[in-house]
Amino acid sequence: MSSPGPGVLLVHDQRTARFELAPDHPFKPVRMELTRSLLEHAGVLAPSEVVPPADFEEAELLTVHDPEYMADVAALSRGETVARARQRGLGTADNPVFRGMHELVSLVCAGTATAMELVATGKAHRAVNLGGGLHHALRDRASGFCIYNDLAVAIRRAVDRHGLRVAYVDLDAHHGDGVQWLLYEDPNVLKVSLHESGHYLFPGTGHPYETGKGAGRGLSVNVPLEPFTEDASYLEAFDVVVPTALRAFKPDVILLQAGADPHRYDPLADLSLTLTGMRAAYDRVVALSDELTGGRIVATGGGGYDPYRTVPRAWAQLWSALTGRELPAELPGAWQAQWRSRLPEAPIPDRWTDGPSDFKPHPKREQVARRNRVVAGRTAEALQAIWRDTGLVSEVTSS
Ligand SMILES: [Zn+2]
């Protein structure tokens, strides 16, 4: 599988790769450096494929965010006091205030907007911003480590500037609530999220009955999964819901949020995927783009709190899926040596992947799979009824 046309670009900026929300915060930007250097050592990323974010007008953030909220973020970013900071979700353990945060998070938005622009204008076939994926940020409130919503900004640009229909596919372990609520009534954006159920995990939303509103009715698709969901059940749920939704919607471009926190090692979520399962999900999204969007995908990172073992390998698998370039058989020794000397305490892995046979099956495996099957089936059925009603599909389509 090779990418025809202008190729795949990685939008990368050293400043966003180095920022830290707070010293002990679980969001570790070093994972981006780990990933980029892994791709380079593996010989699957050329220097000419790395581009910086293009110039970005801050006013573009207003397509998504409230101006007073942005003014508050900017003031806090300058070190000023803002009385309603906590109402804004800022100055909390999740979203600590730090100097320069407004500029830095604007730069993350610039990165994802650039990736979208490159693909929308045909300068790239696919584009990736691993620093992006801040899917929890709301119109006037920070949430879940996210201050500005780079994904929604990039979607608005695709829809408003380029007239594209966007299918947003969120594979992060947490529900993509910010993107969903910001675009809940938008008929040009399909929002699909597979995540650990909100009954167990932040942000508590993403239930099957959240299906969209007004002109966006039927265009929010949520597949809440049980804790301890393993590869086979995850992929089964994906197959029941995602291809049907995308085929019905007929997008021009897919925006993939590839948070790496559904992995079994992730300390903040309870899904039990392996790298093999995550790669299979990326391959499915790529196949859907080949079928539906002429291959056009914009991808971002997202969550991922096992920064040394899981994230670099997951995102290397993502890059491999998007570029069609095979990873070498062995994890590069020079990469391991470099990071083991730089981070002596960190569990640097020694092979590319892991799979179900590396872990004991969960004692509730069958029960979890059964429950997921019921939820995915009901979600698919309910949505098809809405789509027939709204005219999105004229008859039942099946995958
Ligand atoms: Zn997450």
**At 199, which CATH number?**
3.40.800.20
User: What count of Cα atoms within 13 Å lies in the side-chain half-sphere of residue 382?
Assistant: 19
CA 284 to chain centre: 15
Cα-to-chain-centroid distance, residue 108: 13
Residue 90 lies inside a defined structural domain of this protein: no
In the reported structure, the alpha carbon of residue 175 is separated from the centroid of ligand 1 by a whole-number distance in angstroms of 7
CA distance 247 to 291: 9
In a domain, 93, yes or no: no
The rounded distance, in Å, linking the Cα atoms of 12 and 37 is 12
The side-by-side arrangement of strands in the sheet containing 50-51 is 50-51, 8-11, 126-129, 297-300, 253-257, 166-170, 189-196, 220-225
Q: How far is CA 52 from the centre of its chain?
A: 20
Q: What stretch of H or E contains 193?
A: strand 189-196
Residue 212 lies in a domain: yes
Distance 297 CA to ligand 1 centre (A): 20
Q: State the pTM of this model.
A: 0.96
Measured distance CA(347)–CA(152) in Å, rounded: 34
3-class DSSP assignment, residue 222: strand
Give 173 Cα–ligand 1 centroid separation in angstroms: 5
Asked whether residue 1 is assigned to any structural domain, the reply reads no
* Residue/partner pairs of 247-250 with CB below 8 Å, 24 or more apart: 247/291, 247/292, 247/397, 247/399, 248/387, 248/392, 248/393, 248/397, 249/165, 249/167, 249/190, 249/219, 249/392, 250/165, 250/292
Whole-number pLDDT of residue 143: 95
Distance CA 43, CA 277 (A): 23
Q: Number of H helices and number of E strands within the chain?
A: 12, 8
The answer to whether residue 66 sits within a structural domain is no
Range of the domain at 321: 8-54+104-390
Active-site option among 136, 174, 195, 263: 136
Q: What distance in angstroms lies between residue 185's CA and the mean position of ligand 1's atoms?
A: 24
What was the pLDDT predicted at 395? Answer: 55
Q: Is residue 349 part of a domain?
A: yes
Distance 202 CA to ligand 1 centre (A): 9
Integer Rg of the chain from CA: 20
pLDDT tens, position by position, for the chain (399 residues)? 344 447 999 999 988 877 677 777 888 888 999 999 999 999 999 999 999 999 999 999 999 999 999 999 999 999 999 999 999 999 998 899 999 999 999 999 999 999 999 999 999 999 999 999 999 999 999 999 999 999 999 999 999 999 999 999 999 999 999 999 999 999 999 999 999 999 999 999 999 999 999 999 999 999 999 999 999 999 999 999 999 999 999 999 999 999 999 999 999 999 999 999 999 999 999 999 999 999 999 999 999 999 999 999 999 999 999 999 999 999 999 999 999 999 999 999 999 999 889 999 899 999 999 999 999 999 999 999 999 999 998 754 454
Neighbours of ion ligand 1 (CB under 5 A): 172-174, 259, 261, 303
Question: Does residue 37 sit within a domain?
Answer: yes
User: Which pLDDT belongs to residue 396?
Assistant: 47
Cβ contacts of residue 58 below 8 Å, gap of 6+? 70, 106
d(CA 390, CA 386): 6
Residues 41, 328, 52, 30, Cα dihedral to 10°:
-60
The answer to whether residue 71 is domain-embedded is no
Task: Give yes or no: 362 in active site.
Answer: no
Q: In total, how many domains does the chain have? A: 1
Interval between CA 391 and ligand 1 midpoint (Å): 33
